[in-house]
Chains A and B, each alone.
Chain A
Amino acid sequence: MLSSIVKPFAALALAAALISIVLAALGASPIGVFAALAGGAFGSWYACVDTLVKSTPLIFTGLAVSLAFSGALWNIGADGQLMIGAIAAGAIGPHLGDFPHLIAIVIILAAGALGGAAWGGFAGWLRARRDVNEVISTIMLNFVAIQALSWVVHGPLMEPSGAYPTSAPIASAAQLEFYFAPSRLNLGMLLAIVLAGVCYLLMFNTSAGFELRAMGRNRRAATFFGVRIPALTVWVMALSGALSGLGGAVQVSAISHRLYEKLSPGWGFEAIAVALVARLNPLAVVPAALLFGALDNGSQAMQRTQGISPELVQVIQGLVILIILAFDTPAWSRLREQIFGDDEQPAVPAVAALPAA
């Protein structure tokens, strides 16, 4: 357990070392750059809060991906599901002015979850009934979602003056408030953390979650023991989509208050990295998302003070993921065994290392 917490940080340090070499080669000061990065992410109360805000959609989508991946359902469509959820929220949001705040919030978030669930559930249905590989269907549905968002902000949901490609703002009753103005911290973050706990309980403390994990580890054995694979596939994909859609609705309700193109900078894809770094553990998704959120947030300060492009942050993120995954090998497990003793079970034992007879 300890090493699974230490490991991402070790990977981060190794990534930092590699980046330092690149920075030094470019003639920049690695220490200055990293100080700016850290300062931008955690240097002030405001920076910390903004890091949390930037992490929120990553927690939602990261949970969505973790859940689906645990069942070996490769949902690459969290981004599209998030956008459809946002569209549903953005469509219903302007009409909630007459409702009490709490009810309006529930409606707008439910709309987002339902939108995402429909999008994810459809991919699940295609897999379960028509045997369409969910990797393909979710990628294709991402394209559809991107164009759907573009269409609604230029067409049916375009703001009344018709001057800008955005939707009309949602009613103030449907807006999640900022509790630490001027920062944008809102209840969405809390909801995301609560849902991380719920997802954990679902996966590890319920019969349905067990069936999900069994399906993910060995689909055939699960079939032999009466797990209803098609139904489970549709439900899990719908639930995964609902989590992403909820992330989109929170973004609309709390931050953007309206729809616009490029609403998502690719959270649904970054979510895959978040989920893998968290090794699909919903509780670990929260710190993993914070890590990526901090990198996103810090990159802006880095750009301002050091003149380094924010793209470099993406390079750092890429290296972190690669290094974490590269360390998650049998060789690493054996090393860990020698250092920490063999009490910890490797995630997947190498077949050759089993005492077969």
Chain B
Amino acid sequence: MLRANAITKRFGRTLALDGVDFEARPGEIHALLGENGAGKTTLMNVLAGSLAPDGGEATLDDAPLLAGSPRAALDAGIAAVHQSPMLFERMTWEENLALGGFDQAAERLDLAAVATRARALAAKLGFELPPAGTTVENRSVAERVRLEVLRALSFNPRVLILDEPTSVLAPSELNAFLDLLRNLRAEGRIVVLITHKLAEAIAVADRITVLRRGRVVARTTPAETSEEQLAELMIGEIVIQPDAGAARRHPGETVLQIENLVLDDYPRRRILDGISLRIGAGEIVGIAGVDGNGQTELVEVLAGVRQASGGTTTSDGAMAVIPQDRDLDGLILDMRLWENMILARPLREQATSYGWLNATRAIDLCRELIERFRIQAPGPETLAGALSGGNRQRLEVARAVASQPRVIVAHNICRGLDLAATAEVHRTMLDFAAAGGAVLLISSDLDELLAICGRLLVISRGKTRETNPGERDPGRLGLLMAGARD
């Protein structure tokens, strides 16, 4: 039995956990639900030993866990998969996994043996690993999460805690992943699944604990509850889903035109294979796909970070990009909010005259945006890294919209966001389109795409294919995403 007794944890003035009691039994999947900022990740970090609580203690089978020591937690049999993958970018996946429990030789690092064991376990779980010697840096987020799950399982843990693992999985991968959790349960392990996907919690969990603002607000089971009730418990109010009608109106003149875009990577690997696309004013066009099929590169080419090998992109007016990895690509976490705001060139120019940066003006601008987009932050001088995930995303969306572009290219903008924040981001995109903007939304979340996109394309191995309205159901799209030709 994994137990947390009256855990309290404070960050500065924020009380992240306020006397939380939690327990999970062997042979159960326990879902931990909550909005962004509810304290789920903090609780996981306390249980996994990454954080020492200010009050209370965690026990496994009545033996107290040494606070603040991930090593001790691992030795006790608690492994964690963190939300932002903790991998070594410049190292190969074998080397990354060697840090786990696959490396059994005491004297010598045997990467081949690590790879063999890892492949065997991966095959059992139903996925493949990259070719030997591939570094992590160019792998997709989904692949990284799989590597993390493998690494955690390599310790053969009694308790596995997963922080939002499914938010990066494709629909086709999701069922396999949930089955994997069920297998782990059948083996008598304790599985703690941190998520804000209600359907998933109801589908797979035996018990559900709901956190809100650092407190437990409900302990329930799937049989006793419903998605609606859980949503209400998490948020405290009912979320109104955005009305997608706006994005399906007749599009205006062409704003973004991509013609036969090709990107070849060294050595001779075709990443983008002749992508053509046209987006009109007022349109939201979605690109669905399993991570790693060229989406990241497409965004990089559109943002000008990468040079395309062929093809043209013409855009009628400025383009704002919201990259998928807010912590690495979108924000500078150890800079202040106002500084992050003026990262966007148009906003920077607004706060600059003759090369001089007018900080007061930038700060005022930022304060306005904080209010307008309801970013929960003490003020413009706060460091971006001090914000919760949802607020970091609000900051990125605010920045993109405030730079008054004609086109917004957004990649997985709602990854890891809770219902309220997701609805808000979608609302903002719909408003932007309704005002005559064009949105290219690249996402691996089908629900999101179906909810707000007027037109939908599917990307697979660097090729896109337009879908017709009759194909707008998850099953059909899942097949197309997996590479089905027709």
Contacts and interface: CB of A to CB of B under 8 A. Distances in A.
Interface in A195-211: 204-210
Interface string A336-355: 01000010010111011111
A221 B329 contact: yes
Nearest to A352: B50
A223 B328 CA distance: 11
Interface residues of A, number: 31
Interface stretch (A76-84, A107-115, A212-220, A312-320): A212-220
B348 to A, nearest CB: 6
B435 to A, nearest CB: 23
A179 interface: no
A226 B332 contact: no
Contacts, number: 107
Given A221-B329, A357-B163, 16 more contacts: A206-B355, A207-B349, A209-B357, A213-B339, A217-B332, A217-B335, A342-B12, A345-B381, A349-B385, A349-B386, A355-B14, A355-B42, A355-B388, A356-B389, A357-B34, A357-B164
Interface in B30-52: 34, 36-42, 45, 50-51
Nearest to B325: A220
Interface residues of B, number: 54
Contact of B335 (A213, A352, A356): A213
A214 B328 contact: no
Contact of B386 (A208, A217, A354): A354
A128 to B, nearest CB: 15
Contacts of B332: 214, 217-218, 221-222
Interface string B337-354: 001001111001100100
A206 B351 CA distance: 10
B437 to A, nearest CB: 19
A214 B12 contact: no
Contacts of A224: 303, 305, 321, 323, 329-330
Interface in A20-62: none
A225 B385 contact: no
Contacts of A347: 334
A208 B329 CA distance: 20
Contacts of B345: 225-226
Contacts of B258: none
Chain A interface main SS type: helix
Given A349-B383, A355-B42, A356-B83, A221 B331 contact: yes
Contacts of B131: none
A217 B335 CA distance: 8
A191 to B, nearest CB: 22
30 contacts: A205-B357, A206-B357, A207-B348, A207-B349, A207-B355, A210-B339, A210-B342, A213-B339, A214-B332, A217-B335, A218-B331, A218-B333, A221-B330, A222-B332, A225-B344, A225-B345, A226-B304, A342-B13, A347-B334, A352-B50, A354-B385, A355-B14, A355-B16, A355-B39, A356-B42, A356-B389, A357-B38, A357-B194, A357-B388, A357-B389
B356 interface: yes
B359 interface: yes
B266 interface: no
A201 to B, nearest CB: 9
B335 A337 contact: no
Nearest to B196: A357
Contacts of A207: 348-349, 352, 355-357
A204 B330 CA distance: 21
Contact of A220 (B11, B329, B352): B329
A222 B343 contact: yes
Contacts of B386: 349, 354-355
B334 A357 contact: no
Contacts of A223: 305
Given A206-B355, A210-B348, A226-B304, A357 B40 contact: yes
A344 to B, nearest CB: 11
Nearest to B358: A205
**Which 6 residue pairs of A and B lie closest in terms of their CB atoms, listed nearest first?**
A357-B41, A218-B332, A207-B352, A356-B41, A225-B343, A217-B332
Nearest to B86: A351
Contacts of A214: 332, 335, 339, 343
Contact of A205 (B51, B194, B359, B385): B359
Interface string A125-159: 00000000000000000000000000000000000
A356 B357 CA distance: 31
A268 to B, nearest CB: 28
B85 to A, nearest CB: 13
Nearest to A210: B357
A93 B34 CA distance: 72
Nearest to A342: B12
Interface in B181-220: 194
B128 to A, nearest CB: 28
